[in-house]
């Protein structure tokens, strides 16, 4: 495996992650590791590669940050940035892995900055281990970057002209031992995503409105959406002030399995976003959760509390992520 060094000070090392990524030819299929030495790297990064690892020493001292928000004016005067131009790191392609790093959008709360992504994950077989993703509104977006979408976004030419494929039947993402913070819809999108033993932290809102953890937009025929397994749901806001999710699209699928839920979770659990159709079509399920926020008595009727022990297998990471290529 080829290793590339990224450092703020070390000789013969790249100074920016973007430069390190661009040094790898699109045609190279062997695995490449970018080893990131401790430091705070203030940059936006677009990655469209295959078989890439980005490995830091510790998320506490290996940090990528930037501060674009959706309300930021475009330089050409054509309007505002919009949600999907704000990501600190944008990933497309396949077999990309991040370890031991922090990705932080520093734009601030949505009331002032608008939506502000830390991560835009548009890659298949993309995994994150012991990472932190910090933001406010829309911290993590898991969704595609198809050519039609890219025409409307401010992606650099080296990204849009890359020969690395980005069109896959399903985009699968895996988060292991990660910390994710935000306040409104801070985990959203259409991908199949498995969150394994992560801490999902709801920040205190700057207004009196209630907050939301997820906003899935699962396609109609996709079997899985977001699956949270053995995660901890923590919060710093008021008690009973945070919903587990609301449906960005009608067929939204979100499952919480063996999760610990704090007092910040609303008794109703879920919100319909004012959509009667989504109420009938979404798939919001809970299984064997615990903690003060997991009490089922007052859950909304369009969510389900499941009991079948075979769900242990159905919602395992192997079942959720494997698909026909057997990826684990």
Does residue 59 lie in a domain region? yes
Quick: pLDDT tens for 159-217.
999 999 999 999 999 999 999 999 999 999 999 999 999 999 999 987 768 899 999 99
Q: Is the pLDDT of residue 149 over 80?
A: no
Question: Residue 151 pLDDT > 90, yes or no?
Answer: no
Question: In this predicted structure, what is the pLDDT of residue 323?
Answer: 86
Q: Is the pLDDT of residue 77 over 90?
A: no
Radius of gyration of the chain (CA): 19
In this predicted model, what pLDDT tens digit does every residue of 104-145 receive, in sequence order? Answer: 999 999 999 999 999 999 999 999 999 999 999 999 999 998
Residue 292 in domain: yes
Query: 142 lies in which domain range?
Result: 38-321
Share of the chain above pLDDT 70, in %: 99
DSSP per residue over 30-90, as a string?
A: S-EEEEEPSEEEE--EEEEEEEEEEE-S-TTTEEEEE---TTSBPTTSS-B--GGG--SEE
Domain annotation covers residue 297: yes
- For residue 16, being part of any structural domain is answered with no
Number of domains the chain is built from: 1
Is 47 among the domain residues?
yes
Which CATH number is 77's domain given?
2.160.20.10
Note whether residue 9 is domain-resident: no
Residue 14 inside a domain? The answer is no
- Per-residue pLDDT band at 328 (split at 50, 70, 90): confident
Domain assignment present for residue 32? The answer is no
Cα–Cα distance, 273 to 145 (Å, whole number)? 25
Q: How far apart are CA 30 and CA 17, in angstroms?
A: 19
C-alpha pair distances (Å), 107 with each of 67, 203, 249: 4, 15, 26
The DSSP result for 169-193, as a single string, is S--EEEEES-EEEESEEEEEESSEE
Instruction: Return the pLDDT at 207.
Output: 74
Instruction: Label residue 76 by pLDDT band (50, 70, 90).
Output: confident
Give pLDDT tens digits for 227-256. 999 999 999 988 999 999 999 999 999 999
């Amino acid at each position: 495996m080829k290793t590339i060094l990224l450092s703020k000070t070390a000789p013969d090392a790249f100074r920016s992650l973007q430069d390190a990524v661009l040094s790898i030819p699109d045609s190279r299929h062997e695995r490449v590791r970018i080893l990131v030495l401790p430091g705070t790297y203030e940059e936006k990064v677009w990655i469209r590669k295959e078989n890439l690892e980005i490995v830091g020493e510790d998320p506490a001292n290996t940090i990528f940050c930037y501060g674009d928000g959706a309300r930021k004016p475009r330089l050409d005067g054509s309007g505002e940035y919009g949600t999907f131009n704000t990501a600190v790191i944008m990933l497309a392609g396949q077999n990309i892995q991040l370890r031991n790093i922090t990705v932080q959008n520093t734009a601030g709360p949505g009331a002032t900055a608008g939506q502000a992504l830390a991560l835009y994950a548009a890659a298949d077989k993309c995994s994150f281990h012991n990472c932190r993703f910090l933001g406010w509104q829309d911290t993590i977006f898991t969704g595609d970057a198809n050519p039609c979408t890219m025409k409307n976004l401010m992606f650099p030419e080296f990204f849009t002209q890359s020969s690395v494929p980005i069109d896959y039947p399903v985009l699968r993402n895996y988060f292991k031992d990660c910390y994710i913070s935000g306040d409104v819809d801070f985990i959203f999108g259409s991908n199949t995503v498995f969150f394994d033993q992560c801490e999902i932290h709801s920040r205190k809102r700057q207004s009196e409105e209630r907050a939301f953890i997820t906003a899935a937009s699962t396609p109609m025929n996709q079997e899985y959406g977001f699956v949270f397994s053995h995660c901890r749901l923590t919060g710093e806001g008021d008690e009973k002030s945070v919903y587990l999710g609301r449906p960005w699209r009608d067929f939204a699928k979100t499952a919480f399995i063996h999760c610990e839920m704090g007092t910040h979770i609303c008794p109703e659990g879920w919100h319909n976003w004012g959509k009667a159709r989504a109420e009938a079509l979404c798939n919001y399920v809970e299984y064997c959760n615990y903690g003060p926020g997991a009490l089922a008595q007052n859950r909304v009727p369009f969510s389900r509390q499941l009991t079948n022990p075979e769900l242990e297998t159905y919602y395992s990471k192997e079942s959720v992520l494997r698909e026909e290529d057997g990826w684990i």
